[in-house]
Structure 1
């Protein structure tokens, strides 16, 4: 059994990075990460698409974004800010040491996984006790790390630190248990298909994470939609529905509730939720709310 130390921290980081994998009104004012607003008569909600892992020193904050943060009463993230006990949740739902991962894979799948792990210098024993969904999440971190991207530099953690400096409340749309459940509750066959897809993507090296980070920094929504969502929807439609489109509908409902108040709010969620034909903005438009891109 793996203990609750460094391995659990690594697993929890994987959830934060990846759960959170191009339709808007208006146009970008400059090349910068995208920022939208939706307003009513007495309040505004800012919608910012985050990248959960970034290289050190990337300059992405703008004066418009900083002004939006200052104007907002609360920062809303995908998951609750206090993730105490997250490691225990991941361990409970993500580890199955009695049934090693290799026994759940075909010989071809195992061969591909072993080759990728050798490429990244990671011992196969680390993955042996993991259920397929957790193996996929953990494996997906390896190209990020090799590309020099780190969750410590992620936009969501940067905004969280800024909110703390400004003594703002930090809330979450979901709990860590909910986020883990999106994957842990998948049938095992779907988990294995997810893992195989991640293996194939990891075999491509640092190309994809580097492209995503560059597109995010430039506010290139069309590129992000293609890289992040279109491929996922084509490869794993059930996973796309579970991780993206269904959650976007729920997020939009919460944002509508925030607008019912009289204070400005800042919502920062993974950029994949804010691109494409099933984005949060589209869900809000169906409720009669006009979303405008301001950056």
Structure 2
């Protein structure tokens, strides 16, 4: 059981939920509706960049895939050029952590998620067959998913799949952070408390839990070939194809009560960080996940509403 709980904690620490600014898209997936004029193939070689400017300052924004196949090469020449002389680098605000005063509550919430029997024993026959096939495909025993909550099981299953398929949510931000450190450039990021996410997981309705499991299974069943194609599209600057990657993990997190409130806060904080960077003459670099960057109510949509000039990867 200790292995199950530590695995679930690690899965929840991988990313935070995402949702849209009011008014929300007519979908449980908060990033389902994109601002189409921002979804543009890059003119320059390599991944796509957007530009946010205000007078004498520009923030170059690199859109990051939700999951990236480890070891796939990508051209970082534009990144190298934009890091040169940058006064700061804004990294994704998609981290969660446990503070000293919240640790006890987090442990209690995690313990409340555990069950004596594997969750697959509670599933309808068709769903059980899919779940068993998926966990066997990623080499995990039934006891690893001894959980009462379908949303938690879905998150853990997708995390195990991504680990098995060598898909990382840490890149390319990890590479950008390393390069910024080597150049002694200030980095900006933010950590959100894990406790409310776990509490929301416990309050998730049975219907939302079932939807999460379905989304998780869709991603595992799609296989790594789709993730590899999406990663290659991202590396080539083909934004629309890069957005085609499966997002079972993100959809599961979005199913929790209050996920939209947390994501609205994250997007507002990321937009605010870019707006703050625009107050310093010169230029800065930011890394923002693609869908939260390009969705209605997303980071660029918010900045445009504030009057900043947005240029797409297709503009010179």
1:79-128 alpha-carbon deviations (Å, 9 max, x no partner): 38895769x68765455124753476444433321221122221111111
Say what the alpha-carbon RMSD is for the aligned residues.
Answer: 4.0
Counterpart position of 1:279: 298
Size of the aligned set, in residue pairs, is 289
Cα distance between partner residues in 2 of 1:175 and 1:193? 25
Specify which structure has the higher proportion of helix: 1
TM superposition score normalised by structure 2: 0.72
The answer to whether structure 1 residue 140 and structure 2 residue 158 are counterparts is yes
Which runs of structure 2 are paired with 1:185-264 in the superposition (5 Å)? 187-189=204-206, 190-227=208-245, 247-262=266-281, 264=283
Unaligned runs of 5+ in 1: none
TM superposition score normalised by structure 1: 0.76
Cα distance between partner residues in 2 of 1:73 and 1:42? 13
Q: Which moved more, 1:255-264 or 1:203-212?
A: 255-264
Instruction: Give how far 1:158 is off.
Output: 1.0
The answer to whether structure 1 residue 70 and structure 2 residue 84 are counterparts is yes
Q: Which moved more, 1:237-246 or 1:57-66?
A: 237-246
Counterpart position of 2:309: 290
Instruction: Give how far 1:45 is off.
Output: 1.6
Cα distance between partner residues in 2 of 1:120 and 1:25? 33
Counterpart position of 1:267: 286
CA contact (8 A) 2:46 2:237 kept: yes
Counterpart position of 2:53: 39
Partner residue of 2:194 out of 177, 194, 209: 177
Q: 1:143/1:236 Cα in 2 relative to 1: closer, same or farther (>3 Å)?
A: closer
Q: 1:192/1:246 Cα in 2 relative to 1: closer, same or farther (>3 Å)?
A: farther
Cα distance between partner residues in 1 of 2:79 and 2:186? 18
Q: 1:81/1:198 Cα in 2 relative to 1: closer, same or farther (>3 Å)?
A: closer
Q: 1:26/1:125 Cα in 2 relative to 1: closer, same or farther (>3 Å)?
A: closer
Cα distance between partner residues in 1 of 2:158 and 2:284? 32
